[in-house]
A and B are shown apart, each in its own frame.
Chain A
């Protein structure tokens, strides 16, 4: 848990510095002593545009160092590691970046939604904050994609034909109709949502990179109009999918063990046995050997696993 605490503090400190940079750059230091006076704020998308390719490449670089997927096991306390520290960092930093992007994007006006900001300094702060969040977003996405392709985890995330009836059966069972289908580590509905996320995130990144290119090259107006439209459509799509994601993954009671494990990393063996039958069959033989010091620390729990 200590590692996760450090990761969370690190992400918040990083974002805090980024937010201050965005705020400071958006001020109009017209009357400040020592400045010649400027009527335009510093637009980070223009002055620090190098951070966009650096964020992408850094994501690929760090993602390429990821180790191959380790085998899941049941530990001495009857707990199963579902989300390791890498996943914790990846998920929550991506979530924070997404929320910041949605907040700043909508406040600046998307498609038919009006702009909620009028003061140029506020507009500048929102665009600069959008830049900071976009850099983090690109880093997490490219880190995730590189890691999952190199380790082969992407195969576990992608849906198969049987996932459609399984997902229907899962929600029917949740409502009290029929028997719950046997699920693997990732639920069928989770796997079905993965390509949807892929298309929306891919669309928003591609259109966003075209929009960013306008700060470097003289882009054709038609391409910019198309990119802005696609960026807006993908934004609305992501907001809708995110609402469904949060509702099914954190609000409804059956998802509470999963949201808990997204923070602590662990689910109980009982939960896996009841809801991820296929996964349980794979891991039930993998029991972590009890180390001497852990036996001393947790004698009772080690002897009586909560099965």
Chain B
């Protein structure tokens, strides 16, 4: 009996196997034992940006309705990715705020996403987009956006984050969007208060809120400078 080789049972296999794997899993917590990638990488700059002129905006909300319509197939201000806010108690020119996504050079929303659902889309000029199927709805990107109001918004119907993709993915619009195509808000604005550019704006409020008025606008009596 003493010379008989000891046979490992299923129990022994499970005990040793699971204990070893637990050790390995816990071992990854300690410095030097991590399997995480320590590479430093840069997020490439977007190839398209939206510029606005709040002094020109009439607050008609057409851009918001167009944004919702082209992306979601319905006109719903709550589903728009661009937000126009009006304060009735403040006079011109500070009565209107236009909140368009700035396609930040260092996007905190991309960094905050735990599943890489929000990423720079290489196929569409590195626009920062949400791959909605991969969004787990943690809303960290919304909180991470440093601007007020947040440029990443919550889609309460399909329960995922969404943001301006420069109309790269507009299933309810026949036009080609993206950095080489058209943008619904630009196309629909009756005041031409939104403009698309491929040049990286100065990373400040004044870099994105620019003077889009021309001499014809001046004929209406409003300032052009």
Contacts and interface: CB of A to CB of B under 8 A. Distances in A.
B115 A214 contact: yes
A224 B138 CA distance: 15
A251 B220 CA distance: 76
Interface stretch (A56-64, A183-191, A252-260, A261-269): A56-64
Q: Which bracket fits the contact residues of B?
A: 20 to 34
B218 interface: no
Contacts, number: 95
Interface string B1-39: 000000000110011011101100110110000000000
A46 B117 CA distance: 14
Between B11, B116, B134, B137, the greatest number of chain A beta carbons within 10 A of the residue's beta carbon is seen for B134
Contact of B10 (A127, A150, A228): A150
A196 interface: no
B137 A57 contact: no
A211 interface: yes
Given A41-B143, A109-B159, A221 B134 contact: yes
B111 to A, nearest CB: 8
23 contacts: A41-B143, A43-B138, A45-B114, A45-B136, A50-B26, A50-B28, A50-B29, A53-B21, A54-B26, A57-B21, A58-B22, A60-B14, A61-B14, A61-B18, A61-B22, A64-B11, A65-B11, A115-B156, A118-B154, A127-B138, A219-B134, A221-B131, A224-B134
Contact of A222 (B14, B114, B133): B133
A15 interface: no
Contacts of A61: 14-15, 18-19, 22
A222 B112 CA distance: 22
Given A53-B25, A211-B136, A222-B133, A64 B15 contact: yes
A39 B134 CA distance: 22
A15 B45 CA distance: 45
Contact of B133 (A43, A63, A120, A221): A221
A155 B153 CA distance: 52
Interface residues of A, number: 38
Contacts of A141: none
Nearest 10 Cβ contacts at the A-B interface: A221-B133, A64-B14, A61-B18, A57-B18, A46-B114, A225-B133, A214-B115, A60-B18, A120-B143, A109-B159
Interface of A: 28, 39-41, 43, 45-46, 50, 53-54, 57-58, 60-61, 63-65, 108-109, 114-115, 118, 120, 123-124, 127, 146, 150, 211, 214-215, 218-219, 221-222, 224-225, 228
Given A61-B14, A64-B14, A146-B14, A123 B137 contact: yes
Given A39-B144, A115-B156, A222-B133, A50 B25 contact: yes
Given A39-B108, A215-B115, A123 B25 contact: no
